[in-house]
Each structure stands twice: as C-alpha cells, then as structure tokens.
Amino acid sequence: MSTAAYYLAQMLVGEGLRVLVVDLSGRGARLRTLLARRPLKNLGLWEPQVAKASDLRALILRAREQTAGKVDVLLLDMDASLLEHAGGLAVGIDYTIVVTAATVEGQNAADEIAERLGDAPPPYGKVGVVFSRVSVTETDGLKEQTENRKLPVLGHYPADYLLAAGDDYSVSGAEPSLPHEKYSSAIARLGRILIRRVPLRRLSAPPAEPAQRGTDVAVAQARVGASRSGGMSAASTAHEREAQPVDAHVGSARPTVDESPMSM
C-alpha cells in the first residue's frame, strides 16, 4: 500500500489539505524514496517505532498533540493485526479503508477485518472498501457494497505494475515511475469521496482558541489466503490469534510520531 498511500496523500494535498503519512508497517522504504525524489509542500512522513500493540493509543494521542493546527489529515500505514490488538477503531481512528481484491473472498476478508476492528454496522460504520488491481473486464460487475456485511465500496483502481501499487514490484534504486492516467484518475476519485464522506477539511482556529487536531483515516490492504475452512487464513478472534498476525495490512489517515514532531 505504500505507493498508493503516497499518491492518495499527494491528491489530498492538491485539494488544499496538510497531510502527514505515518508508516507503522516497517516497510516504508518506498515512501521514503517517493518523498525524497518528489518532495511536496504540506506532505510529510513519520516512521515511529511501536514495541507493542498497547503503545499505539498513546502514540496516536501524542501525535495529535504534536501536530495540532499543523496537520489536517493523518494517513497511517500499518498491519491490521497491530490496530486490532491495540483496540481496533476504539483507539480513535476516524475512518478506515480496507483495500482488497474484487472477489467474493476479498469482500469476505474486508468484512472480517471490519468486524474484528469493532466497526458498527452500516450506515453507522467507519470502514469502507476499495478494490485494487481491477481489470477493465471487471469494472462493470463491481458492487456498491460487500456481499454480507454491506460495507460501502468507495471505489477501485487498476493495476499499475510499473508504478508498483504495492512494494512487490519496486526495483531497488530505480527512479519511481509515474502513474498512468487511469490509476491517477481512480486515486483522485477516491480522494474526493473521502473528503466528502469522512469528511476531511482544512483546519483553522482563531488565535485565542486551541489548535484543532487532524482527521484520522486508515487505509488497509487485505491479503486473502486459503485456510482450513477455505476462507481467510486468519482466525476469527483476536485472543485466538495472539501469536498469529492477521494476513492484512492497514493504512490509516492519521499522524504517527517518533521522537519529536515533524515539520513539513
């Protein structure tokens, strides 16, 4: 999700928002490369270290304090297992996007992640779905909701292997490719939907009032695998899976903190 998170953040900055991308996945090399080679005002990166899941809530609170009045959107990239074991949406995430395959298995994976994160049933929930690497032949049959839990489908984007929508196809040391038009258009549509749905807005406060905190949006990538029951490879409850990571990645719109606040 690192590359897709970068281009989503870039789109939000283009709409006048100040965005901090936070990498908690330990796979932030791609983000560092993109930001170093294509720096953008009002777009920053933070890579804090989280020793255990229970540290996440305090880290988020500290990040909000340090970025209040400076950041409008905190975009977080992390494993779903970390967010789940930290308490799910209860840690304070405003909205979470689950990125998954446009298949029944992918929809089921998104539904299970939403349930384990403690999401309320639609229309009161804070989890939406985006289908990734969708081919032209698949677009006509895409649903507006997942089959079972009825999570809203916010959009989809096509495969762009030269761009490396994940880090799987990136070439070490190579100049990052620019996204093709369909990919850019899809990410732009997703950004506009998030701005309206969450909603996302530029924060401002009179001098006499305390600075407002940014909005937290999570982007999660679900990886579907075969389990003994033929469904997801992860077990259904957190305490049953304590030593087994969830086979999914989460990216969130929220800031994360290392030692000190980051200037953009």
Mean pLDDT of the chain: 77
The shares of helix, strand and coil residues in the chain, as percent rounded to the nearest 5, are: 35, 20, 50
Tell me, what's the pLDDT at 246? 26
Lowest mean pLDDT among 6-15, 96-105, 226-235: 226-235
* Section 50-62 average pLDDT: 88
Confidence of residue 148 (pLDDT cuts 50, 70, 90): very high
Topology (CATH) of 2-253: Rossmann fold (3.40.50)
Domain extents in the chain: 2-253
Confidence of residue 185 (pLDDT cuts 50, 70, 90): very high
Share of the chain above pLDDT 90, in %: 38
pLDDT tens digit sequence for 94-132 = 999 888 899 999 999 999 999 999 999 988 999 999 998
**Residue 134 reports pLDDT greater than 60:** yes
Query: What contacts 141, CB < 8 A, 6 or more positions away?
Result: none
Tell me, what's the pLDDT at 89? 93
Q: Kindly tell me the sign of the dihedral angle through the C-alpha atoms of 98, 99, 101, 103.
A: positive
